[in-house]
Amino acid sequence: MSKISRDEVAHLAGLARLAVTEAELDTFAGQLDVILESVARVGEVAADDIPPTSHAVPVTNVFRDDEVRPGLSREQALSGAPAAEEDRFRVPRILSEEA
């Protein structure tokens, strides 16, 4: 016996704004029953003594530690620029004044 009725499937289809044929109502009712039974089985297996997990396997951080390293000075960085102005890279204007 189906736990989901044809009327309920039609109501859900209406809420989702889906056009469903009469044949699809029976098909979807059966499929929704299978989904609900599967979810119920998972609920039966889940126990209070099992801690919740976010990952099935342990996850470790693969990033390296942040370490301060020597970098370029402002003068060194700007020395290779085709144009510099006020200690910044000078680039062509791409937006008009109105923006």
Pick from 21, 28, 22: which is nearest to 2 by CA?
28
- Kindly report the backbone phi and psi dihedral angles of residue 55, in degrees, each rounded to the nearest multiple of 5, phi listed first: -140, 150
Taking 70 as the threshold, does the pLDDT of residue 2 lie above it? Answer: no
* pLDDT of 95 higher than 60: yes
- Tokens 């609920």 belong to 43
pLDDT at residue 46, rounded to an integer: 64
Over the range 14-34, which residues count as b (16 or more CB within 10 Å of their CB) and which as e? eeeeeebeeeebeebbeebee
Give the 3-state secondary structure of residue 84. strand
Mean per-residue pLDDT over the chain, rounded: 86
Report the 10 Å Cβ neighbour count for 77: 13
CATH number, domain 6-45, options 1.10.357.10, 2.40.50.420, 1.10.20.60, 1.10.620.20: 1.10.20.60
d(CA 83, CA 91): 7
Average pLDDT over residues 37-58: 80
